[in-house]
Amino acid sequence: MLDSNHPAGHRPTWAHIDLEALASNFHVIKSRINEGVKVIAVVKANAYGHSAVECARRLAHEGADWFGVALPEEGIGLRRSGITQPILCLAGFWEGQAAACIQKRLVPIIYRLDLIEALDTAARDAGIITDVHVKIDTGMGRLGVRFDEVAEFADALKRFENIRVDGLMTHFAAADDPTCETLTEDQIERFESVGRLFRAHGFAPRYLHSANSAGIFSHPEALGNMVRPGGVLYGLWRDILPPSTENNKLRPVMSVHSRIMMLKWVPQGETIGYGCTFEASRKSLVATVPIGYDDGYLRGLSNRSHVIVRGRYAPVVGRISMDLTILDVTSVEGVELGDTVTLLGRNGDLEIPAEELARIAGTLSYEVTCGIGERVPRVYSSK
């Protein structure tokens, strides 16, 4: 049952973050990998909207070995909140951030020699040798040194005396998609040969890693000695794991709730909301709730999604606006002002998964949870 409420002094719209579910998902992942394989818990983008600080604290307590962020500024935020584990910056760093990376003990990925120069200089100035993970592009075509240009890169790396190659990594483009299996297999093979090449050049990286959530579930044979789960930690899986994935005990971590702020009857034939996109086909009881697309309740859900009120689904009618959404609650027995409305997640026996909202809006579950706005307070529960 939902037992959370919004923090005092706020509009009654809140995201409930179930830290027990987060911990449980972490252990589901641990149970799928060999002992000794390190877990980089990916908490970039404010932990996909779930709050990086709160999630990292709990995951650290559960035994996460490393944390993964996109940007150094995100890593600095974790350091400020007392996270002491190693932090990998998955999107690298920019020239003005080299000194901060060193000072905050962030491990950036590297992919370009001119940036390594800046990091090497900053490390020398600080009198230390700094760790990096080299990002290899084995077939994604995005960030990283191309797998067929690695030899030159490894050669050039040797002259940076204050840089140590602690890890090599690559990223799968489509590990969840059986129709792209050839690409994934090519990526695995190319990455293995890159590892051999680096060793032949005299490097001794401690870590080799490639698996995101989809990789962990689809290619357990190719995990290296480190994995980088993101979405599955937050219980997002139906649209990012292979279609063959069965019930796997992952539990959604985020749910979003609000309360009815206005209830009124409208006569048959009247239109509701901006642009007259909905017309009442009968005398209807409509409810207004204080959440809109600025809060991440996507405008693309207008007239297409539903919510949970008093153990029933109630449809969204008319356009979702920036701050407000309208529901048809005609068939919700006993509905009252102030009733809790669940827009995402479970309430009682009913559930609206992020994957379902994503499908309706034509996007990915990640974009749904990342998009839950800053003005929606997060409320945490743990035992």
- Give the active site residues: 44, 274
State the helix-helix crossing angle for 150-157 and 113-126, rounded to 10 degrees: 20
Output the smallest distance, CB 191 to ligand PLP, in A.
13
42 binds ligand PLP per the rule CB under 6 A: yes
- Range in contact with ligand PLP (rule: CB under 6 A) among 15-23, 121-129, 227-235, 342-350: 227-235
SS3 of 20, please?
Answer: helix
**Interaction residues for ligand PLP, span 311-370 (CB under 6 A):** none
Q: Read off the DSSP letter of residue 305.
A: -
Instruction: Measure the CA–CA gap between 14 and 49, rounded to whole angstroms.
Output: 12
Strands 66-69, 312-315: pairing kind: unpaired
Instruction: Measure the CA–CA gap between 153 and 201, rounded to whole angstroms.
Output: 10
- Range in contact with ligand PLP (rule: CB under 6 A) among 199-207, 225-233, 302-310, 330-338: 225-233
User: What is the secondary structure of 121-132 as a DSSP string?
Assistant: HHHHHHT--EEE
213 binds ligand PLP per the rule CB under 6 A: yes
To the nearest 10°, report the CA torsion of 156, 161, 164, 169.
Answer: -20
Q: Is 121 exposed, middle or buried (0-12, 13-18, 19+ CB in 10 A)?
A: middle
- Spell out, one character per residue from 120 to 159, where the chain touches ligand PLP: x when CB under 6 A holds, - when not: ----------------------------------------
Instruction: Measure the CA–CA gap between 142 and 155, rounded to whole angstroms.
Output: 22
Q: Which is nearer to ligand PLP, 234 or 297 (CB)?
A: 234
Q: Which is nearer to ligand PLP, 144 or 318 (CB)?
A: 144
171 binds ligand PLP per the rule CB under 6 A: yes
7, HSE (Cβ side, Cα atoms, 13 Å): 10
Output the smallest distance, CB 75 to ligand PLP, in A.
14
**Interaction residues for ligand PLP, span 73-112 (CB under 6 A):** 90
Contact 119, 130 (CB under 8 A): yes
Q: Which is nearer to ligand PLP, 230 or 318 (CB)?
A: 230
Place of tokens 């400020």: 80
Q: Which is nearer to ligand PLP, 47 or 320 (CB)?
A: 47
Q: Which is nearer to ligand PLP, 231 or 292 (CB)?
A: 231
> How far, CA to CA in Å, does 144 sit from each of 30, 75, 170, 185?
28, 20, 8, 18
Can you tell me which of 219, 228, 259, 378 binds ligand PLP, judged by CB under 6 A?
228
Q: Which is nearer to ligand PLP, 42 or 341 (CB)?
A: 42
Can you tell me which of 231, 292, 318, 371 binds ligand PLP, judged by CB under 6 A?
231
- Please list the residues that pair with 260 across neighbouring strands: none
Q: Provide the binding-site residues for ligand PLP, judged by CB under 6 A.
A: 42, 44, 90, 171, 212-213, 228-231, 240
